[in-house]
Structure 1
Amino acid sequence: MQPPYKVMFLFGTRAEILKLAPIIRLMHRDVDKWQAVLVATAQGDSQLLNDTLEYLKFHVDFSVDASNIANSNEVEQLSQLLHNLNNVINAGQPDMVLVAGDATTSLAASLISFYHHIPLGHVEAGLRTYERYSPFPDEMHRRLTDDLANLYFAPTTGARDNLLQEHHPAKQIYVTGNTAVDSVECNLQEDFDHPLLRKIPADHRILLMTMRRKDNLGTPMKRVFHTMRDIIETNKDVELIFPVYPHAEEVSLADEVLGEHERIHLIEPLNHHDFLNIAARSAILLTDSGGLQEEAPALHRPVLLLRDETERQEAVSLGSVKIVGTDPTTIQQAVFELLNDEKKYRQMEQAEMPFGDGHASEKILNIIEKYLYQK
C-alpha cells in the first residue's frame, strides 16, 4: 500500500479527542503521506465536545447524529452507533481506524472495523482494573476493543504485560507512552495568565478538583463536596477551583454544597490549555478522571484519586497518585498531610514519570506507517 494513507479517527467524548489530537496534528503536517478523517459521535455532552474541537481547530469530516444518543442508556447508545458508524465506514473507506480509550464509541468502532475487515489501532491499549463492573462500563469496553484490535499502543510496560497475559500477539503490541503526556509538553506556558488566577492571593494554595463520573453522581459526590467545603473552611490560605461538568445533577449539587464561598470557585469547563496551566500552578489535584492521572506526573503535581481503584496502577505504585475514594475521613487526612507535611508532598511531586517521554504520537505514527506500507 502506498501513501497517502487514510486513517479514520472515531471519538465521542472530549477525553478521546484530546488523546488523539497529537497524532492528528502530526498527520496534518504531512498531507502527502496522511489523510486524517475525523468522525465525531458526541456520545457525551455535545457542546463540550464541539467547544474542544473548536479549541483544537479541527474540522470534522463526519458528524454522527447524536440527538438520541447522549441521553440514552449504554445498550441504546451502542445500537445507534453501530448503525450510524456502519454508514460512515462505507462512505469513508479508510485504510485504518484509530480509537482511544474505553468509551462506547471505541467499542462500536472496533466492532464495525472487524465486520468490514479494516485494521484497528487502539491508543491506550491494555489498561485494566480486572474488576468486571468497575469502572462501568469502561473496563469491558477496553477489553473488548483490545480483543478486536490489530495494533496495540500500550502506554506502559504494565499495560503491555496485561495484553500478553491475555494472549494478544506480542508482535502487534508496542509500548509507546501515553499521548496525554505529548499534550502536556506542548501546552505548558511559563508566562501563563488567567483572570481566575489574578483573583487568588499569591500566598494561597490551590486545590483543583474534577469530578464527573456517573458512578460518583448522587451520594458519593455530595460527600466529597461537603468534605471539600470543610477543608476550605478550616484552611484559610487554601482555595478550591472546580470546573463543573454541565450535568444537571452535578451543577445542582455544586451550587447547593459549594456555592457562595469566597475561596471556592465554581467555573465552567476550561479548554485544555488553560486547564493544564492552572493545574501546573495548583498545589493538589483531586479527580475521578483517568486522563488527569496521566497528565499530573508530567506536571509534577500530587493527585488524590476520588475512586476506589485505578486502571493506571503504575502512577499509584510510583507514588504520584494516591487512591482516596469518596470517604470524607480518607480525603481529609490525605489533603491535610499534603498541605502540612513537606516531605510527603515532595515525594509525590517528584515521583517517577510512568507514562512516557512526550513522544508517543510520533512512535504511534511510525508504527502505523510501517504496518500500512507492508499490507
Structure 2
Amino acid sequence: MKIVLVAGTRPEVIKLAPVRAAALSHPNVCVEWIATGQHTTLADQAMEMFTLRPDRRLALDWDGSSLTSLTGALVSELGAALADAKPDMVVVQGDTASAFSGAAAAHLNRIPVAHVEAGLRSGDFANPFPEEGFRRLITPIADLNFAPTRDAAKNLRNEGIARGKVFVTGNTVIDAVLEIAKQDRVPEVLSRAKPGERLVLVTTHRRENWGEGVSNICSAIRALRSAYNDIRFILPAHLNPRVRDTVAAELAGEDRIEVIEPLAYPDFIAVLKNCTLVLSDSGGVQEEAPSFRIPVLVLRERTERMEAVKAGTAKLVGTDRETIVREASRLLGDETRRRAMMRSGNPFGDGKSSERIVREIAKFCRVTLAEPANAAGAINPVGAAASARA
C-alpha cells in the first residue's frame, strides 16, 4: 500500500508526522511525503524536529500573498506530483490551502482522499477565514473522514456524510505532544524566569485578529503585567509582518513581557507545560494545553473546538481588552477558580490516533497490514487500537 501525505504548514507537519510513523511501522506500507512550501521556515523546523526529510518539495510559482495565487499554484503542482506518484490514498490534514489543494488535486486524479481532523465547524465562514471554507470544501471530496471527536463526527453526519466514511480517531496532535513532552528540555526563555514568577504564554496569528484585535491583546497584556507583579508573559511572535510589527510596536522592551522568536515545537511544549495560563487564538493550543491541564482563554469570538469549552479547559473571550483583562484576572487572582478549569482530561485524544487512521486506510485499500516494526527517523509509532465507527 502506498500513501502520500501532503503538508505545507507547521501544524500539518506536527499532526501528520505521527501518521507517517505509524504507517512506516508496517513493512508493507510505503509513504511519500510532499512538502508544499506554503510555509517554509516553520514547516522545515517541524520536519527537522521529527528528523523527517520530504520525498518531494514543490517549487510554487505564486505572488507570495494572495490566497487565490497560492491555491492555484498548489492545485497545479500537486496535481502533477500525484499523477506521477500514483498512490493508493492521499492524506491531507486540517484546513489549510495545502490541505484543500491536496484533496482537490487527488480528486481530479481519481485518487481516494483521507482527511485527518475532519468535521471541525465554527458555523461562520468568516471566523476563521479561510479555514472554515477549506475544511467544508474538503469534506465531500474525502473518502475517509477522520474526526477527532464525536462532536466533529456529528457535524459530518448532519451534513449528510455517510456513516461508513466517518471514523472517530482522536486528534493526532496528542500523539505528537505526549511523545515530545517526555523530553527533558529547558528552553532559554524558561531559564530567564525568576523564582516564584508565574508564566503566561500568549500566541496570536489569526487573520481576523490582525490590526485592532492584536493591538487590543497587547494592551490587555500590559494591563495584566501592571496588575500582577509575579507574572511573566512569553509571546513567540508570529513571522507574519501584520502580526509581528504590531506586537513589536506595542510590547518590545516591556518589563516581564518577553517577545521572542517562534519556538521549536519541543521548546514550545516545554514552555506550555510550565505555564499558569495560556492566552491564544490558535486552534492547536486549544488541543495541546489540556494534556497538561493548563487553562486556555481563547482570543476569538468563535471556535471550532467547542469540546474544550464544554470540558471547561478553555473559555472564549474574544479580543476586547476589558474582557481579556477581566477573565484572566479571575484565574490569576483565584487559584481555586483556575484549578477548576484544570480538572478535566484532554477531550481530543489518548495518543493512539495515528495507528487507528492507518488501519482504517488499510481496510479501505483492502490491505492486510504486516506486523509493526519501528520506523527509523520518525517519532515512536503509537500503539494499535480499534477505531470507532461514527
Assess if the C-alpha contact under 8 Å between 1:229 and 1:257 holds in 2.
no
Query: Which of 11, 25, 32 is equivalent to 1:37?
Result: 32
Match of 2:41? Answer: 47
Tell me the distance in 2 between the aligned counterparts of 1:140 and 1:92. 28
Letter in 1 for 2:276: A
Match of 2:228? Answer: 235
1:2-49 per-residue CA deviation (whole Å, 9 max, x = no partner) reads xxx11101111111111111111222333x2211111111223x1221
Match of 1:28? Answer: 24
Assess if the C-alpha contact under 8 Å between 1:181 and 1:295 holds in 2.
yes
Structure 1 residue ranges (4+ consecutive) displaced by more than 4 angstroms after TM superposition: none
Letter in 1 for 2:29: W
Assess if the C-alpha contact under 8 Å between 1:154 and 1:177 holds in 2.
yes
Q: Is 238-247 or 349-358 further displaced after alignment? A: 349-358
Assess if the C-alpha contact under 8 Å between 1:184 and 1:299 holds in 2.
no
Tell me the distance in 2 between the aligned counterparts of 1:181 and 1:210. 19
Matched residue SS, 1:373? coil
Assess if the C-alpha contact under 8 Å between 1:189 and 1:277 holds in 2.
no
Tell me the distance in 2 between the aligned counterparts of 1:293 and 1:314. 9
Identity %: 34
Assess if the C-alpha contact under 8 Å between 2:90 and 2:111 holds in 1.
yes
Query: Which of 300, 315, 340 is equivalent to 1:322?
Result: 315
| TM-score normalised over the length of structure 2 | 0.91
Matched residue SS, 2:2? strand
Assess if the C-alpha contact under 8 Å between 2:76 and 2:105 holds in 1.
no
Tell me the distance in 1 between the aligned counterparts of 2:192 and 2:98. 39
Assess if the C-alpha contact under 8 Å between 1:210 and 1:287 holds in 2.
yes
* Structure 2 unmatched runs, 5+: 369-390
1:292-347 per-residue CA deviation (whole Å, 9 max, x = no partner) reads 11111111100010110000111111110100110011100111111111221111
Tell me the distance in 2 between the aligned counterparts of 1:218 and 1:101. 25
Match of 2:7? Answer: 11
Query: Which of 251, 268, 286 is equivalent to 2:261?
Result: 268
Letter in 2 for 1:278: V
| TM-score normalised over the length of structure 1 | 0.95
Query: Which of 326, 346, 350 is equivalent to 2:343?
Result: 350
Match of 1:287? Answer: 280
Pair 1:56 & 2:50 matched? yes
Tell me the distance in 2 between the aligned counterparts of 1:75 and 1:192. 40
* Correspondence list, 1:1-375, <5 A: 5-30=1-26, 32-44=27-39, 46-66=40-60, 68=62, 71-189=64-182, 191-373=184-366
Root-mean-square deviation (CA), in Å? 1.5
Letter in 2 for 1:42: G
Matched residue SS, 2:164? helix
Letter in 2 for 1:213: R
Tell me the distance in 2 between the aligned counterparts of 1:196 and 1:134. 32
1:171-221 per-residue CA deviation (whole Å, 9 max, x = no partner) reads 121100001111121011374322221111131100001111122111110
Matched residue SS, 2:167? strand
Assess if the C-alpha contact under 8 Å between 2:170 and 2:352 holds in 1.
yes
Assess if the C-alpha contact under 8 Å between 2:60 and 2:73 holds in 1.
no
Matched residue SS, 1:147? coil
Assess if the C-alpha contact under 8 Å between 2:16 and 2:93 holds in 1.
yes
Letter in 2 for 1:48: L
Measure how far apart 1:352 and its partner are: 3.6
Assess if the C-alpha contact under 8 Å between 2:121 and 2:304 holds in 1.
yes
Q: Which has the higher helix share?
A: 1
Asked which structure has the greater RCO (Cα within 8 Å, sep 6+), the reply is: 2
Matched residue SS, 1:250? helix
